Amino acid sequence: MTQAIIAHELVKTYPGEVRALDGLSLSADSGMIFALAGPNGAGKSTTFKILTTLSRPDTGSARVAGIDVLRQPERVRQAIGVVGQKTGATPEATGSENLVMQGEIYGLSGRALRQRVNQLLDRFDLREAADRPTKTFSGGMRRRLDVALGLVHRPQVLFLDEPTTGLDPDARASLWLEIERLAGDGAMTILLTTHYLDEADRLADHLAIVDRGRIVTQGPPETLKRELRGDAIQLELEAAPSDGRVTAALLALPGLSEILADGRIVRARAEHGASAIPGLLGALEREGFAVSSVTLARPSLDDVYLRHTGHLYTKHDERE
């Protein structure tokens, strides 16, 4: 299988010695949905910008659709579709007008352009709103139009940067279905960035978790979850401890691993979670810690993230 995207040892540092990428490498096979997942500030958007020729790395190399992004950026732009976090549509123009303008940028005209615009309006359920200014569109409609704009010229690779951020649950679910439909066509590679681990779990054929500018683990989501044996236990304490007594108390218990206390939240892994919970609660009670809730679950991508980064999944707000 050919590789649609290859990046090797990408490094990018912003002013103030903020290292957004620290030797990031990845490869995505043709025809797959490849997800870059991680908190805001992990390096996802910087990777996105480099692969779409919007930024240059300090060091490293990358190829998209077989084309060097640093040496031939113009050719890369012809081969890709890009849907950024902010809408690419002109607010005062109608949905149809935006699609026509996008097509003309890529050299389409006449009957071929009209057919393509009509096809996309129907595919993304925008026919009834085609003649309305896009500033009147709902958030979900604008996002569907953004994806349609990225597809006008039939790209080999489609890049989606945080495609569902800000959408309500219904609009988010609708866009998930459309992304799955696009992937089902089989002829196009999709790379999406997301800070929603459930989104990556739902959509991705292959997932790479990014943390502090590096990929810490990657593979099919189900494979990554199966690598974690046992059950995930999460407890919420009534008050956050001020010292390490919680961790010390749990380390003395047999059968627990990956113990982490973060404020009021305590997480651990056990081969048989239900059997381990009474002893865990007793150990905390003896140390004077009251527990307000306990959750037991099979491994999730949050647990995968914890295993490979050593900290809980949070949304950082650092510059990417």
pLDDT, tens digit (0-9, with 9 covering 90-100), for 240-298:
887 888 989 899 899 898 888 888 999 898 988 899 999 999 999 998 999 999 999 88
Q: Which domains does the chain carry?
A: 3-221 (3.40.50.300), 229-298 (3.30.70.100)
- The pLDDT tens digits of the residues spanning 134-184 come to 999 999 999 999 999 999 999 999 999 999 988 999 999 999 999 998 887
- The pLDDT tens digits of the residues spanning 222-251 come to 999 989 888 889 999 999 887 888 989 899
Q: What are phi and psi of 20, to 5 degrees?
A: -75, -40
The CA-based dihedral angle spanning residues 104, 110, 111, 115, taken in that order and rounded to the nearest 10 degrees? 20
Beta strands in 15-64 (DSSP E): 18-29, 33-37, 59-64
Res. 317 pLDDT band, cuts 50 70 90: very low
Q: How many CB atoms lie within 10 A of CB 201?
A: 20
- The pLDDT tens digits of the residues spanning 46-77 come to 999 999 999 999 999 999 999 999 999 999 99
